[in-house]
Amino acid sequence: MASDAKLPHTGVFDLIKEDFPELELTGINFIFNMIILSQNLSKSMEKHFGRYGLTKGKFNVLSYLFFFRNKKMILLSQLAKEIKVTKSTVTGLVDGLENMGYAKRYTDKEIDRRIVCVRITKSGNKFFREFSLIT
C-alpha cells in the first residue's frame, strides 16, 4: 500500500544534524518510519472496517460491549472513559451502532432512570463473532 506520507529527504537530516549535533539521526529516521507505518495502518483499518459499515470508533465501542456483555450495567459515561473519547463522541458512536441494530440503550428504573446504559444486542453479538472470524 502506497503512502501519501514521505520521509524527509537527506538534506533535511543534514539540517537537523547541523542544528542539533547531539541527536542520533538513526533514531529520528526510525520515528519518521513509525509515524508513516501508523498512518498506513490507520488508513488500512478504516478501509477494512468501512466494508462492514464500521469505523474504528464504532468497532472500539462494539468490542468493549462484546467483551463486557455480562456486566449488568455499562454507563455511557463509563464507556467514554474506557475507550478514551468524550461523552458526546461515544453518544454518536452508540447512535450509529443502534442504527445498525448492534447496540441498545436502556435505563434501570429501579436504580435511577436518568442513568443511560448501553448493551450489545444479539445481532451485535453475532456480527462481532463473525467479524472476528473474518479478520
The cell for 3 is: 503512502
Radius of gyration (C-alpha) of the chain in whole angstroms: 21
Sign of CA dihedral 118, 78, 64, 97: positive
| pLDDT tens-place string over residues 54-99 | 999 999 999 999 999 998 889 999 999 999 999 999 999 999 999 9
Let me know: does 98 contact 105? Beta carbons within 8 Å.
Answer: yes
Topology adopted by domain 56-134 = Arc Repressor Mutant, subunit A (1.10.10)
Amino acid symbol at 17: K
The cell for 76 is: 455511557
The cell for 89 is: 463522541
pTM confidence score = 0.73
- The domain ranges of the chain are 10-50, 56-134
The cell for 101 is: 441494530
